[in-house]
Every structure is written in C-alpha cells, then in structure tokens.
Amino acid sequence: MKYVERINLCLAACILSACGGGGGGGGGDSISQPPVVAQVAVASEPSPVTVAVDEPGATASATQEIQVPDGFTLAANYTVSLDVDLESVYSQRVSLSVCTDFSTVDSLVSINYDSCLLKASTNNGIFSSDLEVGNALDSLILAIGIFGESSAVDYRVWERVGSEPYVFSVR
Amino acid sequence: MDYLRKILLRSAVFSVCLCATVSAAEPFHDCPTEAFLVQSGVAKLYGVQLATGHYQLLSSDMGTSSKLNAIAFNFHDNYLYAWSKEFGTLVKIGTDYQASALETSNNPDATFYVGDISLEDNIYYAYRPGSSYGLYAYNLDESEEDYLRAVKIVSGDDLSLNIFDFAFHPLNHYAYSVDRNGVLHRIDVELGIDTALNNVGESGTFGAVYFDVDGHLYISRNSDGYIFRVDVNDATPLAEFYAYGPSSSNNDGARCAMAPIVDVEISNIDFGDAPDSYFSSLENNGARHGLFSSTLYLGEGVDSESDSFIHPLSDDETGIDDDDGVGFVSGIEVGEDSIVEVSAVGSGFLNAWIDWDQNGVFDTDEKIISGQSLREGNNVITYSVPISAKVGDTWSRFRYSSTELIEASGGVSDGEVEDYFVTVTETGVSTVFYPSENSWSTLAFEDNWPSIGDYDFNDLVIHYRTAISSKNGAVRRIRVQGQVAAVGASYHNGFAIHLPGILRSQIDESRIQFTVNRADQAESPLESGPSEAILIAFLDAWDYVTPGEDCKYHRTESGCGSSIQMDFSITVPFVNAIPLAQMPTTPFDPFMFATPGKPHNPALGNNPGRSLEIHLKNHAPTSAFNLDYLGRRDDRSNGIQEKYFLSENGMPWAIHVANKWRYPKEYMDVIYAYPHFQSFISSAGGQDGDWYLDGRAQLQNTFSQ
C-alpha cells in the first residue's frame, strides 16, 4: 500500500568501501544502440544468428557475439548488510521492515509494503541481516514500528553510493 | 445501527431503467434488478439495491398527499401498482412516478397494506386481516370481464395473518411473507389457504419483502432497515443477515421477482476476493459495498464488479489492484502486537479480521479491529496477535464504511472491502524476502544445452521468490514459490531447487508444505536418493501448461497469451535451525532438468532425464548430473576452475532477473528486446544494471498478453 505521513526524515549513514572501481572489463567504448532495423519485431521464425565474434567494444548483432568478462556471472543482485543499533533510542520492542518501493516528498513518506525485503522485530534495538537487492534499485527505506499506547512509525533511508560492500547502518 | 441518510431531493440516476427524457406514464425498463420502496405519510419512492442496501430517492412527489401501500411490480406490463389511501383505490405508476387512480369496483371499505401481483396471472392480490376484510383479487387485464373488480377470495378471519407485505415466488405461484413473530408463511392465493412453515429466526415488522429470480426471499425490517435473505426452498428456511437497508416506520416494497439480485451489466459493487469459505461471492452473501458514492474508500481507489473474483483469479492480479489501502508495517508474530497503516479517503469506520486458526472462516473472535473511526489520510493502528494463532499463511479482511459495526459478510451501502493474504510467524522470527514479500524475480533458461540456442531466454521462464525465516541467527525454515511464466520449447523440462551445503537429512520432511495451484500435494518434493537437499517443483512443465490455440508454445508467441497455469509453493522446515552463515544465499541454486523418459538434445544420447541439468552460470550440478556431458558441443564448463554452464564467450544458458521480467518473444534474441543487456555484461555489471526494466526494453520485441 502507499500512504502519506509527516516525518522527520533521517538519512542513514552509508559506509563506503575503499574506492576500487566496479566492473571495468570488456573495453572502454560506450555501447551504441543496435541498428534500427534490428529492433523491429520478427514476424516469422528467423534462424539463430551465427555471426562470428566481433572485436570487444563493438556493438554485437547477436547475443552469441558478446564477450562476457571472466568470472562475471550476470548476478541479478547486490548485498546490503543491515546493521541496526537503536538501543539508546528505543527501550521497547520495535518492528523493522526494509522496503524498496517508496517515495519521500517534502518529508511526506509513502511506502509500498508489498515491496519489503525484511520483516523483523527486536526487543533491545539491535538487529542485523544481509539483504539481496535487485541491481536496478539504489535506495531502501527502513520503517521502524514503535509499539505503545500511541503507535507510530519512524523511518531511515539508505542510498547506494560507491561500491560494495554496502552497509545500511542505523543508529 | 442508525444509518438514516439524508434525503437527496433530486432525480436519482438509478440503473438503466430510468430515462430522463421519456414521456409521462411510460413503463419501467424490463424487469429491473432494483427494488422499489415506498415510505412516509406522504408517499416517497426509493430505489434499493438489495445486495448492498444502498437506496436513493426516486421521487418525493408521487401525486398524492397521503400514503401508498401494498406496492407491487407488474411483470406483465412493467408498471408499479399500489393502494392509495387518498384515492381509496388502486393506482398505477410509471417512470414519471405519478400515481394515476384506477376505477376499481366492489371494493371493501379498507386501505390495503399488503399486496403483490402474480407472475402467472395479471392479477393484483391485496390482503387485510379481520372479518370485514380478507384476500381480494383485482384483474388487471383490460380484456377481462372482471377488470379492476374486487373479487373476494377468502375472509380475513379464515386467513388471519399478522403480516405487513407479501411477495410472489418467481416460479411456484405462491406468495410468501414473514409475520411479526418470524414465522414464514406460504399462501395459496387462489384458494386462500395459508401454510405456516418454520420460524426463520428473526422477528419484527417486515414491511417490505421481495423475491429474486433464484427464489431467495428478502425481508426488510422496519425498525432497523436490516435486510435478511431466506431461501424458501430449504427444508428449514432461516433468515441470514444480508445487508443494511433503510429503516422507516412505514415501509412497503415491490420488485420484479424475475430479476437477478444484481445486474451483471452494471458493476457498482466492491467485493472481497478471499476464498469463498470466507464469504466473498454474491451467492454466498459475501462482503460487499455499494459504490454509488466515490468519497469513502481505502488507498488510491476502488474498482467495481458485479460479483467477486475469488483468489487466485482476483482482478487484483489481472486488472486493477485496488487492495492498496492497508500496509502491514510489521510482521505478524504470535503473542505480540502488530501494526498496520491504513490509508483512508473520507471519514468512516474500519472493521477487520484475521483467520488466526486458518479454518477458512472469519470467526467472531478473530475480529482484530472493531468499528474504529478513521480520519482522512493515514492511520496507524495496533492490534494484538493471540498466543493461539497458528503459524503460516492465512487470510485477512478489512472493511471500511459509514456503518460503524459490521460483520465479515453481508452488504453495506458504501465503502470498500480489501482482503489480504498474510503470514503469521512465531515470536521473534524475522523473515528476509527476495525479491520482496509479494513480488517476483525471474529465472529464464535456454534449454538446448550444451548447444547454443537462439538466446530468446524463454524456453522455460519461472517467476520465483524466496523467504528465509530465522531467529537468533539460525534459519528455521525457508519458502520457495514460483509460477511457470512461459514454455517456449518443445523439449520437456522439469524444475528444481538445490540448497547447496544443506543435506537432505537436515530437512524435516514430514512437515514440508507443498502446493501446486493451491492444492496440497501428497508427494514430498524432496528428491529421494541423493544426500543433497533438492526440491522438485515439477517433472514436466507440459503436464501443467498448454499452448494457445494455433500456438506451438506456452506464452511466447504473439497472440498466444493466457493466464498463468501453474504455480507452486514449497515451505521447508529444518530439523534443527541452521546457522545463517551455513545457509546458501538467495536465489539458492535453481535449475531445470530434462524430464525423465523424454528426448532432449541429441548430443546427450537418448532421454537423458535427471542426468541433464542446466544451472545458473558457475553453479555446480548436483550428483544426479552426468559429468561426462560437460564440455560437449558449445559448453566450456571446467569443474577444476569451478566454471559451469557457460559458452566459449562466457554466456550462460540460464539467467536470473530481479523482477517479473518481460521476456523476449519467441525466437527474439534478447539483445533486441533489451539493448542494454550487452553493456551490462561488457562492463561486468558496472553499467546498465537496470537493463531488464520495462523502461529500458524494446517492448514490441517482448512477449505480451
């Protein structure tokens, strides 16, 4: 669901690894778009493309031509280590939900809770877990459910900066 | 339960039976589904949607300064008829809502309060108890000799009933009513004989009674407006609460008994979509809300339907997902509090249930939120999870309306119902989902290994997600769920999930929960034989899916769309919780294999069966695999280097995509559907990590329904 609520938005610290660059194999030329004619939907049954492997960096006309950097597995995700220590903030049980689909506009937060990667709780404010995040996602939100006579929800946002290892630290 | 609404002094736009431009005294549309209700000392006419109890004023001026009673709908000419106190005679009412007096004769000196028109004969029957009165028949056929002449059938002493309306059954020619004490009566109007059936369990003044075409009797109680439904065909008919309707001290109702309760061509009701054991369908008196007002709902909006779309065929999956008003902020842990955030439009009341004992019914003691007033906007609500709640998946229902206290079934005139499938865990258990709790990732295979294929990556396409539940750093169970999204291949292939590093013996096999298309499977998915933990989801995709008409494959060719035909869910508990450090990371090791007994790539001999597996790149095969296959044809696996299932160029035969991927259509090389796939690969993931999103695709080269 999506909802809107006023909060004091707090960006979580994102611990950066030493800059070592990511990727970098396979040549430096930017990849141009495939020729327009090749983007038209094929109405009949074409034969599989059998063109020989082209030189690295050039636009392939078939997947078969693409040279995959050694060791690259086309992994769909990257890992984010959630590290929560709110012992000094909350003395009661709180719930922790990390979600990917959210928006924050002028401190108004809207979260789609169907997009959560984690549902957890802690009695002492301490919790940690590794999360697998899809490559296209660059930010996460932690919704902290505060139980009590008047329940409330607090938030922390994490944004991907730099390269792995990624840590979502919450203090 | 006082829900009296303000009367709107305007002509109602009320189903297709009303035409603003018709001339006076035109008949009503053929057999309208709505019921007519006349109220007040100066007659006012309302239209009532019995399914929800929604009602609205049709006319505050019916051309009389007094009451109208014994109103009836004439199936033979589509006019309303009633007894006018002012005119002392029958009146006829058309779409101008004006009562035109008819010249009746031989009338008793009485005002009738009970009346209806037979469906078999064009005769209006009116009744009043007492020795001076009785049951009378008025022929409404102009060609008949006794046209509009009262004929006494029986005296009010011989037929003495404490009733306030009756209605004719659509088929069996009897008139039915429920008296003040709750006794159901069946009246033979031709003979003037009453048969008292049983007590329906509700008492009061039922001033308006109606039938629908299925023979259900609806009785509306004056004091509170409650509408009850009685199946008179039952051996012991009982009144079940059906909807909240209008209350009035002076009610009389009429309806075309040949009409279904809801006009299927007019969708103005919101239904729930939980399985019908929870009462979701119209037939089952399911939870439903009238949508005549657009100012009271949850989330971003509400869609309308004429009946429920029961999960998994919910229109939330195939159309508009209007179950968007409730956010489950926290997990649901046994014995603990839990938080939901409810986004409301308009001020109303929330009632909600969770089926804690998973018995398929929202029991009375499973109500978690009762008549809670919500303000417009976001509302944070805490509820308690009982210590007796069962761990596992179950259904919940949230109902929002202007009526404060409602039950889990039955109709209300406004608001919305949203049903959610939720998971209950033990106390202190955390769950990590991939890609998220309710979304999918995709596994896409080229099945011609060890030969390179056409790289359309749709020979087998699986929607896939996982959940890992742990406590205190140890995993108690995992769940793997999937759908067969496409089979773009002639070969027969199965699908399995290997848990690297986990032994078969570590799994509590007797407690595995395995469903296919929501049905529990008797056979364990845990593969017998190998010591590894391998879960077989299916042996042959073609056992479950079909090509479209004039299609060769399943959901890969243009014009060959269909709904998903196979889904599975496997919950795997461990004998002893496994330390997180020993658990394989998601997506674990999913793979496809050749269906035993079926031919496959000729490079592998006859019917390779389980000895042929295709894994994600660099995932080692299981012990069932024939290692002699490695390196054949285009494969360049090297076990020593721990490289598996890759070509000379390093391309895999299987990819994993982090969303519900729009895979290429049949024979379409993936780079023409996703031009940025190449740069993603060439940069080893450094660029275009989002290559797989719809927004980066050449969608015309992907499969669409």
Q: Is residue B21 part of a domain?
A: no
Average pLDDT, chain B: 91
Best B384, B419, B660, B671 member to test A by mutation, with max A CBs in 10 Å, is B671
Q: Identify the domain boundary among B428, B446, B469.
A: B428
What is the distance between the alpha carbons of residues B603 and B607, in angstroms, rounded to a whole number? 11
Chain A from 25 to 54: CB within 8 A of any B CB: 25-27, 30-31, 33-34, 38-42, 45-46, 48-49, 53
- Residue with the bigger pLDDT between B339 and A17: it is B339
Classify residue B292 as exposed, middle or buried by CB count within 10 Å of its CB (0-12, 13-18, 19+): middle
- On the question of pLDDT at A54 being above 50, the answer is no
CA torsion angle B444 B449 B454 B459 (round to 10): -40
Residue pair B690/A136 in contact (Cβ under 8 Å)? The answer is yes
In the prediction, which pLDDT does A30 show? 30
Number of H helices, E strands in chain B: 3, 44
Say yes or no: B450 and B543 in one domain. Answer: yes
Which contiguous run of DSSP H or E holds residue B678?
helix B677-682
CA nearest A114 in B: which residue? B438
Q: With CB atoms and an 8 Å threshold, state whether A113 touches B328.
A: yes
Which range marks the domain in which residue B692 is found? Answer: 432-701
3-class secondary structure for A17-35? CCCCCCCCCCCCCCCCCCC
Band of residue A17 on the pLDDT scale cut at 50, 70, 90: very low
Q: Is residue B689 part of a domain?
A: yes
Q: Are strands B460-471 and B441-445 parallel, antiparallel or unpaired?
A: antiparallel
Best B330, B418, B429 member to test A by mutation, with max A CBs in 10 Å, is B330
Residue pair A167/A80 in contact (Cβ under 8 Å)? The answer is yes
Say yes or no: B343 and B233 in one domain. Answer: no
Mean pLDDT check: name the lowest of B56-70, B248-262, B444-458, B535-549: B248-262
Bridge partners (DSSP) listed for residue B288: B271, B411
Residue B462: count other Cβ atoms within 10 Å of its Cβ.
25
Residues of chain B with C-beta less than 8 angstroms from the C-beta of A51:
none
The encoded tokens of residue B377 equal 């906007």
What is the distance between the alpha carbons of residues B188 and B194, in angstroms, rounded to a whole number? 6
- On the question of pLDDT at B315 being above 50, the answer is yes
Residues of chain B with C-beta less than 8 angstroms from the C-beta of A143:
329
- On the question of pLDDT at B448 being above 90, the answer is yes
Say yes or no: B192 and B290 in one domain. Answer: no
Best B298, B302, B321, B341 member to test A by mutation, with max A CBs in 10 Å, is B341
User: Domains plus CATH for chain A?
Assistant: 5-15+74-170 (2.60.40)
- On the question of pLDDT at B17 being above 80, the answer is no
Say yes or no: B384 and B474 in one domain. Answer: no
**Residue B677 in contact with partner chain A when CB distance is under 8 A:** yes
The encoded tokens of residue B557 equal 């060719």
Q: Rounded mean pLDDT of B515-524?
A: 94
Say yes or no: B532 and B576 in one domain. Answer: yes
Say yes or no: B289 and B168 in one domain. Answer: no
Triad B257, B261, B265: Cα angle to 5°: 115
CATH classification of the domain holding B173: 2.120.10.80
Q: In this complex, which of B330, B671, B684 lies closest to A95 when CB atoms are compared? A: B330
In the prediction, which pLDDT does A19 show? 32
Residue pair B163/B177 in contact (Cβ under 8 Å)? The answer is yes
Say yes or no: B552 and B678 in one domain. Answer: yes
In chain B, the number of structural domains is 3
Report DSSP letters for B293-316, one per residue: -SS-EETT----BSS---TTS-HH
- On the question of pLDDT at A33 being above 50, the answer is no
Band of residue B317 on the pLDDT scale cut at 50, 70, 90: low
Chain A from 52 to 71: CB within 8 A of any B CB: 53, 56-57, 59-60, 62-71
Band of residue B40 on the pLDDT scale cut at 50, 70, 90: confident
Q: With CB atoms and an 8 Å threshold, state whether B343 touches A1.
A: yes
- ipTM of the complex in this document: 0.81
- On the question of pLDDT at B81 being above 90, the answer is yes
Q: With CB atoms and an 8 Å threshold, state whether A135 touches B685.
A: yes
- Digit-coded pLDDT (tens) for B336-395: 999 999 999 999 999 999 999 999 999 999 999 999 999 999 999 999 999 999 999 999
Band of residue B29 on the pLDDT scale cut at 50, 70, 90: confident
Who's near B523: CB < 8 A, 6+ residues apart? B514
The encoded tokens of residue B535 equal 């879960």
Say yes or no: B489 and B615 in one domain. Answer: yes
In the prediction, which pLDDT does A27 show? 28
Residue A60: count other Cβ atoms within 10 Å of its Cβ.
22
In the prediction, which pLDDT does A136 show? 96
Q: With CB atoms and an 8 Å threshold, state whether B339 touches A116.
A: no
- Residue B208 DSSP code: E
What is the distance between the alpha carbons of residues B109 and B485, in angstroms, rounded to a whole number? 75
Band of residue B261 on the pLDDT scale cut at 50, 70, 90: confident
Of B265, B94, B114, B95, the C-alpha closest to B176 is: B114
Q: Are strands B183-188 and B175-178 parallel, antiparallel or unpaired?
A: antiparallel
**Residue A103 in contact with partner chain B when CB distance is under 8 A:** no
Q: Rounded mean pLDDT of A72-95?
A: 95
- On the question of pLDDT at B271 being above 60, the answer is yes
Residue pair A170/A84 in contact (Cβ under 8 Å)? The answer is yes
The encoded tokens of residue B26 equal 């035109």
The encoded tokens of residue B381 equal 């609500």
Residue pair B427/B456 in contact (Cβ under 8 Å)? The answer is no
Q: How far is B351 from chain A (nearest CA, A)?
A: 18
Q: In this complex, which of B331, B437, B669 lies closest to A63 when CB atoms are compared? A: B669
Band of residue B314 on the pLDDT scale cut at 50, 70, 90: low
- Digit-coded pLDDT (tens) for B99-121: 999 999 999 988 899 999 999 99
Q: Is residue B219 part of a domain?
A: yes
Residue pair B644/B621 in contact (Cβ under 8 Å)? The answer is yes
Which contiguous run of DSSP H or E holds residue B671?
helix B670-673
Band of residue B254 on the pLDDT scale cut at 50, 70, 90: confident
Q: Is residue B4 part of a domain?
A: no
Residue B4: count other Cβ atoms within 10 Å of its Cβ.
9
In the prediction, which pLDDT does B631 show? 96
Q: Which residue has the tokens 């949230």?
A: B398
Say yes or no: B492 and B578 in one domain. Answer: yes
Say yes or no: B232 and B287 in one domain. Answer: no
Q: Is residue B380 part of a domain?
A: yes
How many residues can be counted in chain B?
705
Residues of chain B with C-beta less than 8 angstroms from the C-beta of A107:
none
What is the distance between the alpha carbons of residues B323 and B304, in angstroms, rounded to a whole number? 12
- On the question of pLDDT at A44 being above 70, the answer is no
Q: Identify the domain boundary among B428, B459, B489.
A: B428
Q: Rounded mean pLDDT of B530-556?
A: 95
Locate all alpha helices (DSSP H) within B289-418, ordered by sequence: 315-318
What is the distance between the alpha carbons of residues B677 and B429, in angstroms, rounded to a whole number? 38
Q: Identify the domain boundary among B410, B428, B446.
A: B428
Of B514, B492, B479, the C-alpha closest to B588 is: B479
Say yes or no: B208 and B323 in one domain. Answer: no
Say yes or no: B395 and B248 in one domain. Answer: no
Q: Is residue B471 part of a domain?
A: yes
Q: Is residue B583 part of a domain?
A: yes
Residue pair B506/B576 in contact (Cβ under 8 Å)? The answer is yes
What is the distance between the alpha carbons of residues B255 and B17, in angstroms, rounded to a whole number? 13
- On the question of pLDDT at A49 being above 50, the answer is no
Chain B from 546 to 565: CB within 8 A of any A CB: 558
Residue B671: count other Cβ atoms within 10 Å of its Cβ.
28
Give the three-class secondary structure for B628.
Answer: helix
- Digit-coded pLDDT (tens) for B120-142: 999 999 999 999 999 999 999 99
Q: Is residue B27 part of a domain?
A: no
Cα B413 versus chain centre, distance: 18
Q: With CB atoms and an 8 Å threshold, state whether B324 touches A100.
A: no
